[in-house]
Amino acid sequence: MAYYYKEPSRTFNEYLLVPGYSSKDCVSDRVDLSTPVVKYKRGEEPALRSNIPLASAVMQAVSDDRMAVALAKEGGISFIYASQSVENQAAMIRRVKDHKAGFVRSDSNIKPEQTLQDVLKLKEKSGHSTIAVTEDGTADGKIVGIVTSRDYRVSRTPLDTKVREFMTPFEDLVYAEDGVSLPEANDILWEHKLNALPIIDANRRLTHFVFRKDYDSHKENPYELLDEQKRYIVGAGVNTRDYRERVPALVEAGADVLCIDSSEGFTEWQKETLEFVRKEYGDSVKIGAGNVVDRDGFRFLADAGADFVKVGIGGGSICITREQKGIGRGQASAVMDVAEARKEYLEQTGYYIPICSDGGIVYDYHMTVALAMGADFMMLGRYFARFDESPTAKLNVNGNYVKEYWGEGSNRARNWQRYDMGGDTKLSFEEGVDSYVPYAGSLKDNVNQSLGKVKSTMCNCGVINIPDLQNHTKITLVSATSIVEGGAHDVILKEPGGNISR
């Protein structure tokens, strides 16, 4: 007979945290959200810690080099997506490792023969008003000018006007040469009352911008995640097909941690991938594996050499694996089961293997529930896809701003390697959807707000670090009626801007 679990499969939404005694020391400013990312021996420090328990998902619509820099500034790790060529992925890793704080590569570029209409489309897509005009329209092309919102008036300038006719030409630009320090660049900005300062190399190619608006922000990143050389920490996804070529290229490019990107990790293919890494690099290369949803899957990957284990199948907002294949498990049940297996593994071997909860986060409070249940950090897709820093287009749909968001198992991504079970080299059927998510603004503002809620909740539970949250918090299962009671009910909500007659 098949094995039947006695308990139903539960989600984070079915649990609440019960407040504990809070001393005067339990204040948000004292809460420490740092967390281990890779395996370590009990009593020792892990080789890699994250300053916040958030990682961005291995997805085309979420994690590129720009997202990686933005999240590292806040203390988290991005895993740059693997559903692209090895060369492109390695190039993204290099750009993150080469990124200099305060120096921003231009993501809004245009050719001089393009038109004002192209400028407006680019501005709507990127959200940025400073656009570099280069000979070939690339970020590192030979610069011929700059366009800002001060260079044109939509009401007076015809949409078919060529960019070269209204741009500020190179001859009139104030710029700095490559090699300038950030303090020197900021001095030039303030001296000339500029909003943006282009940085130009000896061949007149644009290398970076320094923006006035970033002047204060560089002092506001106390949790930024840096390696020993003061470079941003970045992760990368790999698959079980071309790992022999991809892993060496990513390691050479400077990736700090790798993760096998797969919808289901309890497989011989993942074991072979982990064995390759251990044979070629020993323990010097850190690599996580997954995804699994029970203790058997965790133990398999732990014994195979995984540095962390990713938990979750079918819980993502764009994932339809459960609908298509009927496999998976409620995320809360999966995390609790794997956390128990992790505890047993620690007792037996003396090694602690971090758990990454992947999927199932709908509300901010689910983050705290996931951590309390045993997750060391969380991998999020939809959450990060909403921000300016995600690589997708910002669109206006029915009067509302949204960003595109699609699953790696969708026809748009066609990431068949993620769902590879040793068959054809193609996507047999979709396990993800193509969608929109509400645009939410900047990563920094949203992450700070979300983690502010996590810190506040931890203080309510009487703890100020994640290990204490996992060991001392009380968790209660709630009924369907209790879930309804937890939201606004039995009132008439006011419509924004509505009027009430008296």
Mind telling me the catalytic residues?
Answer: 319, 418
Token pair listed for 239: 């698959």
Contact criterion met (CB below 8 Å) for 316 and 12: no
465 C-beta neighbours (distance < 10 Å), count:
14
Q: Which residue shows structure tokens 């001296």?
A: 191
Answer for the pair 21, 462: CB distance below 8 angstroms, yes or no.
yes
Ramachandran area for residue 214 (φ above 0: left; ψ -120 to 50: alpha; else beta): alpha
Residues whose CB is less than 8 angstroms from the CB of residue 461 and which lie 6 or more positions away in sequence, other chains included: 17, 18, 19, 20, 22, 372, 469, 472, 473, 474
Find out whether 273 and 252 touch, Cβ atoms under 8 Å. Answer: no
Find out whether 75 and 444 touch, Cβ atoms under 8 Å: no
- In the DSSP assignment, the letter for residue 84 is S
Which pairing describes strands 309-311 and 355-358: parallel, antiparallel, or unpaired? parallel
From residue 285, how far is each of 38, 92, 272, 419 by CA, in Å? 10, 19, 15, 24
SS3 306: coil
Q: 221 preceded by cis ω (within 30°)?
A: no
Q: From the DSSP assignment, how many helices (H) and strands (E) are in the chain?
A: 15, 24
Closest-CA residue to 353 (of 413, 305, 282, 417): 305
393 close to 376: Cβ distance less than 8 angstroms: no
CA 425, CA 417: separation in Å to the nearest integer?
A: 8
φ/ψ of 237, rounded to 5, equals -85, 150
| Under 8 Å between Cβ of 131 and 119 | yes
Are the CB atoms for 436 and 404 separated by under 8 Å? Answer: yes
Cβ–Cβ under 8 Å, residues 77 and 63: no
Are the C-beta atoms of 285 and 258 separated by less than 8 Å?
yes
Residue 296 identity: D
* Burial zone of 157 (CB within 10 Å; 0-12 exposed, 13-18 middle, 19+ buried): middle
Q: Which two tokens stand for residue 41?
A: 């021996």
Question: Whose structure tokens read 């819980």?
Answer: 315
Q: Could you give the CA distance from residue 56 to residue 52 in angstroms, rounded to a whole number?
A: 12
| SS3 category, 423 | coil
